[in-house]
Amino acid sequence: MTGVSIRHDGATLILGFDRPDKRNAITVAMYGELAAALEAAEADPAVRVVLFQGHGGFFTAGNDLRDFLDNPPEGPDHPAFRFIRALASASKVLVAAIEGPAIGVGATMLLHCDVVIAARGAQIAFPFINLGLVPEAGSSLLLPRLVGYHRAAAMLMLGDPIDAETAREIGLVARVVDSEDLLPEALALAARLAAKAPEALRQVKALLKSPRETVDDRIVAEADVFIGRLRSPELREAVDAFFAKRPPDFSRFA
């Protein structure tokens, strides 16, 4: 079992993060399965909408840190980057239903989704700076576009979480609902989208997402810096602190 659930509801493909004992932290194997599912959906005319959900009251806590460090990305073919490219290039409508934590890639992936619905207790965070890392998935470009430079700078430079209502107010989330209504609302919305004229829907999305090249370039630029940061002493200090359950001490770094 890789920790990914895959099922269909009519024309909606539902991809679930399914490691609730690990707060749905994503492993390299999960990235590979998610990327393959998105690539297959892109080629399948029966799939009109892709819906992401988490299991067990969590969306995802982001990367499984130990697994990620054991299998770090060293180039564009790594499953994590393959998943990000599949998200960024998807012509199908992407919907996210988030509950609990949406952290790291669980937050940056929302910037590639077309509609995000959140349960009231959801928390969204871009905590890369706390690990001595930089943002990924084009978020250094897309987040300022969405929420404005100063909000984005605070979110990316401090790494503090925001709640669902704040996310709705700044435009990161379209709708906030009670937890028990999250999946029914998301499925109903996905069904409405799936009933629209498919080519027109793809063209609307393409117009909304243009210019595509700028985002692709930023994803590559971020990945180059991100890979370098994985070898940094600041990351090592952050990881040691994480597993020792203490705050990181960056005071010795210039």
Structure confidence by residue, pLDDT tens digits, 34-70 = 999 999 999 999 999 999 999 999 999 999 999 998 9
For the chain, give the DSSP string. --SEEEEEETTEEEEEE--GGGTTPBPHHHHHHHHHHHHHHHH-TT--EEEEEESTT-SB--B-HHHHHHS---STTSHHHHHHHHHHH--SEEEEEE-SEEETHHHHGGGG-SEEEEETT-EEE--GGGGT----TTHHHHHHHHH-HHHHHHHHHH---EEHHHHHHHTS-SEEE-HHHHHHHHHHHHHHHHTS-HHHHHHHHHHHH--HHHHHHHHHHHHHHHHHHTTSHHHHHHHHHHHHTS----TT--
252 versus 127: the higher-pLDDT residue is 127
Query: Which pLDDT score is estimated for 13?
Result: 98
**Cα four-point dihedral sign 49, 50, 55, 61:** negative
pLDDT tens by residue, 99-126: 999 999 999 999 999 999 999 999 999 9
Domains present along the chain, CATH in parentheses: 1-178+197-254 (3.90.226.10)
Taking only the tens place, the pLDDT of each residue in 25-37 is 999 999 999 999 9
Please count the residues of the chain: 254
Task: Tell me the average pLDDT of the chain.
Answer: 94
Q: pLDDT band for 1, please (50, 70, 90 cuts).
A: low
Residue 212 has pLDDT above 80, yes or no: no
Model confidence over 179-211: pLDDT tens digits? 999 999 999 999 999 999 999 999 999 988 887
The verdict on pTM exceeding 0.85 is yes
